Amino acid sequence: MSENMITMTIDGVACQAKEGEYILNVARANAIFIPAICYLTRCSPTLACRICLVEADGKRVYACNAKAKDGMEVLTSNQEILEERKAIMQVYDVNHPLQCGVCDQSGSCELQNYTLELSVDTQPYVIADTTREAKNWSSVLHYDPGLCIVCERCVTVCKDMIGDAAITTGARGGVELDKEYKESMPKDAYSMWNKLQKSVITPSNDTDSTNCSDCGECIAVCPVGALVSRDFVYTTNSWELTKVPATCAHCSSGCQIYYETKPTSIENRDQKIYRVTNEWNYLSLCGAGRFGYDFENRVVAKNEVAFRVAIDAIKSAQAIRFTSVITNEEALMLQTLKEKLGVKLFNTEAKAFQNFMSSYTTHSGNMLFGGNIKEMMQTSDFIISIGSSLRNDNPNVRYLFNNIQKLNKGAGLYFHPVGDSLITSMGKNITQIEHKVGTEEAILYWILDQFADKEKLPSEINEYITSFHEVSKKTITEKVITDVTETVVDAETGESKEIVKKVTTNVEKEIEVVANRLLDILDAPADFDATLEKYLGKKENFSLVLGEDLYFHSQVKNLAHLVALIEEFTPFSVAIIPPRTNSLGVALLCELDDDMNDDKITTVGYNTIGDFVLSSLGNGDLDMPAMNQQEGTLTNMHKRVVPTNAAVSYHGYELNDIMNELGFGQDLTVDWTSLLPTGRGFKSVDFDSLPNGYTNSGEENRGYRLENKTTKSTSSIPTKIVTSDISGEILYRCNPQRQFNEFTDKAHQIFEEFALYVSKEKAEMLGDKATLEINNKEFTLPVVVDDRMSGDIIKLPDFKHSHEIYTHFGDSRFKSTTIRKA
Amino acid sequence: MNEIRKEDERVKGTQEYVLLDLSHSPETGFDQFAQVVKRTFGKELFVGLWVTLREMGSTLFGKGKHTVSYPLEKMPIAPRYRAIHDMLRLLESGNYRCIGCGLCEKICISNCIAMDTKYDENQRKEVSEYTINFGRCIFCGYCAEVCPELAIVHGGRYENASEQRASFSLFEDMLKPIDMLTQQKEFDGFGAVSPNADENIKKTPLAY
Amino acid sequence: MDPLLIGTVLKSIIVLSIVSALAGFGTYIERKVLAFMQRRLGPTHVGPFGLLQIAADGIKLFTKEDIIPSNANKLIFSVAPAIAAATAFIAISAVPLFHTFEFTVPVINQLVIVPSVIADINIGILFVLGMMAAGLYAPLLAGMAQANKWGIIGSSRTAVQFLSYEVVTGLSVMAPIMLVGSLSLIDFNNAQADGVGSWIVWQQPVAFVLFLIAGFAETNRTPFDLLEHEAEVVSGYATEYSGLRWGMFFIGEYANMITISFLLAIIFCGGYSDIGFVAGWLAMLLKVAFFFFLMLWIRAAWPHVRPDQLMWLCWKVLMPIAVINIVITGLVVMLG
User: Do residues B89 and B151 share a domain?
Assistant: yes
Name the residue among C33, C40, C317 with its Cβ closest to that of B36: C317
Residues A667, A549 share a domain? no
Residues A757 and A778 in one domain: yes
Residues of C in contact with B60 (CB under 8 A): 36
- Any CB–CB contact under 8 A between B102 and chain A? yes
Q: Closest approach of chain A CAs to the CA of B117, in angstroms?
A: 5
Whether A377 and A524 map to the same domain: the answer is yes
Q: What is the ipTM of this complex?
A: 0.80
Q: What domain range is B88 assigned to? A: 84-192
Interface contact B173, partner A, CB < 8 A: no
Do B136 and B59 have their domain in common?
A: no
Convert the pLDDT of each residue in A380-410 to its tens digit: 999 999 999 999 999 999 999 999 999 999 9
Cβ contacts of A668 within 8 Å, gap of 6 or more: A656
Whether residues B56 and C41 touch (CB distance < 8 A) is answered with no
Q: What is the Cα–Cα distance from A566 to A444, expressed in whole angstroms? A: 8
- Domain presence at residue A400: yes
Q: Which amino acid, residue C125? A: I
| B119 with A235: Cβ contact below 8 A | yes
Smallest CA-to-CA distance from A276 within A246, A237, A253, A254 is with: A246
Q: Which residues contact A503 (CB under 8 A, 6 or more apart)?
A: A481, A482, A483, A484
Residue B91 included in any domain? yes
Q: Does C40 touch chain B if contact means CB atoms closer than 8 Å?
A: yes
Q: Which residues of A touch B (CB under 8 A)?
A: 100-102, 106, 121-124, 126-128, 134, 175, 233-237, 239-240, 263, 265-267
Are residues B55 and C298, on separate chains, in Cβ contact within 8 Å?
Answer: no
The strands making up A542-546's β-sheet, listed across from edge to edge, are A430-433, A411-415, A382-386, A542-546, A573-576
What's the CA gap between B138 and B140, in Å, rounded?
6
Kindly state whether residues A545 and A593 are assigned to the same domain: no
DSSP state of A38: S
Nearest-CA distance C291 → chain B (Å): 14
In a domain, A327, yes or no: yes
A559 and A505 belong to one structural domain: yes
Last residue of a domain, one of A38, A59, A77: A77
Cβ contact, residue pair B67, C297, below 8 Å = no
The domain boundary, picked from A48, A77, A106, lies at A77
Whether residue A494 is predicted with pLDDT greater than 80 in this model: the reply is no
Tell me, yes or no, if B100 comes closer than 8 A to chain A by beta carbon: yes
d(CA A371, CA A382): 13
- Is B7 a domain residue? no
Mutation target to probe the C interface, by most C beta carbons within 10 A, among B56, B58, B61, B68 is B56
Query: Shortest Cα distance from C40 to chain B (angstroms)?
Result: 5
Residues of A in contact with B152 (CB under 8 A): none
Interface of B with A in 127-146 (CB under 8 A): 129-131
Q: Name the minimum distance, in Å, from the CA of A175 to any CA of chain B.
A: 11
- Residues of chain B found within 8 Å of residue C40, distances taken between Cβ atoms: 59, 65-67
The 10s digit of each residue's pLDDT in A6-53 is 999 999 999 999 888 899 999 999 999 999 999 999 899 998 889 999
- How far apart (Å, rounded) are the C-alpha atoms in residues C252 and C256? 6
Domain containing residue A25: CATH number: 3.10.20.740
A780 and A745 within one domain: yes
For residue A35, the model assigns a pLDDT of 94
Spatial neighbors of A449 by CB under 8 A, at least 6 apart, are A465, A468, A516, A518
Instruction: Report the neighbours of A using a cutoff of 3 or more CB pairs below 8 angstroms.
Output: B
Query: How many CB pairs lie under 8 A apart between chains A and B?
Result: 59
Range A765-793 average pLDDT: 90
Burial of C68 (0-12, 13-18, 19+ CB in 10 A): middle
Chain-wide mean pLDDT for chain B? Answer: 80
Q: Which domain holds residue A354?
A: 304-361+588-681
C301/chain B closest Cα distance in angstroms: 5
Q: Domains in chain B: how many in total?
A: 2
* Residue B89 belongs to a domain: yes
Q: Is B119 on the interface with A (CB under 8 A)?
A: yes
CA dihedral A10, A15, A19, A24 (to 10 degrees): -50
- Any domain includes B9: no
CB-based contact C301 B36, cutoff 8 Å: no
Where does the pLDDT of residue C75 fall: very low under 50, low under 70, confident under 90, or very high at 90 and above?
very high
Confidence bin at B195 (pLDDT 50/70/90): confident
Both B89 and B185 in a single domain? yes
The CATH number linked to B148 is 3.30.70.3270
The confidence score (pLDDT) of residue C1 equals 62
Domain-located, residue B76? no
Please state, rounded to an integer, the average pLDDT across all residues of chain A. Answer: 90
pLDDT of residue B167: 62
Q: Residue C330 in 3-state DSSP?
A: helix
What pLDDT shows up at residue A284? 93
- pLDDT for A167-193, tens place per residue? 999 998 888 888 888 888 888 899 999
CB contact under 8 A, A240 and B206: no
Does A406 map to a domain?
A: yes
Least confident window among A433-447, B150-164, C305-319: B150-164
Instruction: Nearest by CB to C40, from B49, B53, B67: name it.
Output: B67
For residue A3, what pLDDT band results from cuts at 50, 70 and 90? low
Residue B1's pLDDT band, with cuts at 50, 70 and 90, is very low
Q: Which of A101, A134, A233 sits opposite B99 (nearest CB)?
A: A101
Last residue of a domain, one of A681, A706, A739: A681
- Would residue B98 count as lying in a domain? yes
Name the pLDDT band for A248 (thresholds 50, 70, 90).
very high
pLDDT of residue B34: 84
- Give A484's pLDDT tier (boundaries 50, 70, 90): confident
CB contact under 8 A, C37 and B52: yes
C321 touches chain B (CB under 8 A): no
Are residues B61 and B144 located together in one domain of the fold? no
Say if A125 falls within a structural domain. Answer: no
The predicted-structure confidence for B50-104, as pLDDT tens digits, reads as follows: 999 998 888 888 888 888 888 888 888 888 888 888 888 888 888 888 898 999 9
Work out how many domains chain A is built from and give that number: 4
Q: Which of A127, A233, A235 sits opposite B208 (nearest CB)?
A: A127
What is chain C's mean pLDDT, rounded?
A: 87
Residues B117 and B44 in one domain: no
A322 DSSP β-pair partners: A606
pLDDT in tens, A205-240: 889 899 999 999 999 999 999 999 999 999 999 999
Comparing CB atoms, the residue among B45, B48, B55 nearest residue C39 is B55
Question: Which chain B residue's Cα is nearest to C42?
Answer: B67
Flag if B131 and A266 touch (Cβ within 8 Å). Answer: yes
Strand A382-386 with A542-546, pairing: parallel
* Closest Cβ opposite residue A123 in set B125, B148, B204: B204
Interface touch B116/A265, C-beta < 8 Å: yes
Rounded CA gap, A600 and A585, in Å?
29
pLDDT for residue A1 is more than 50: no
Q: Contacts of residue B58 in chain C, CB cutoff 8 Å? A: 39
Characterize the bridge pairing of strands A756-758 and A777-785: parallel
**B60 and B89, same structural domain?**
no
In which band, very low, low, confident or very high, does the pLDDT at A366 lie, cut at 50, 70 and 90? Answer: very high
Indicate whether C34 pLDDT > 80: yes
Set of chain B residues whose Cβ sits within 8 Å of the Cβ of A94: none
Question: Mean pLDDT lowest for which of A8-12, A98-102, A488-492, B23-27?
Answer: A488-492
B-to-C residue pairs, Cβ atoms closer than 8 angstroms: 42
The pLDDT value given to residue A2: 45
Q: What is the mean pLDDT of residues C168-175?
A: 90
Q: Is C276 left (phi over 0), alpha (psi -120 to 50) or beta?
A: left
Say if the Cβ atoms of B52 and C317 lie within 8 Å. no
A326 and A465 housed in the same domain: no
Asked whether the predicted pLDDT for residue A155 surpasses 90, the reply is yes
Residues B166 and B124 in one domain: yes
pLDDT above 80 (res A479): no
Q: Is C38 on the interface with B (CB under 8 A)?
A: yes
Q: A234 and B117: CB-CB below 8 Å?
A: yes
Q: In this structure, is residue B111 part of a structural domain? A: yes
Confidence (pLDDT) at A224: 94
Are A676 and A615 part of one and the same domain? yes
Specify the pLDDT at position C120.
Answer: 78
Per-residue confidence at B46, pLDDT binned at 50, 70, 90? confident
C45 reaches B (C-beta below 8 A): no
Strand pairing of A603-606 and A612-615?
Answer: parallel
Render pLDDT for A319-338 as a digit per residue (tens, 0 to 9). 999 999 999 999 999 999 99
Contact C100, C113 (CB under 8 A): yes
Q: Which chains touch B (3 or more CB pairs under 8 A)?
A: A, C
Same-domain check for residues B42 and B115: no
Sketch the domain layout of chain C as residue ranges. 69-335
On whether both B104 and B161 belong to a single domain, the answer is yes
Residues A596 and A570 in one domain: no
Residues from chain B contacting residue A237 (CB–CB below 8 Å): 101-102, 105-106
Q: In the sheet where A704-705 sits, what is the strand order?
A: A632-635, A640-644, A704-705
Torsion of CA A92, A95, A98, A103, to 10 degrees: -70
Give the CATH number, domain containing residue A350.
3.40.50.740
Asked if B150 is an interface residue toward chain A (Cβ–Cβ < 8 A), one would say no
* pLDDT for position B207: 56
Q: How many CB atoms are located within 10 Å of the residue A805 CB?
A: 21
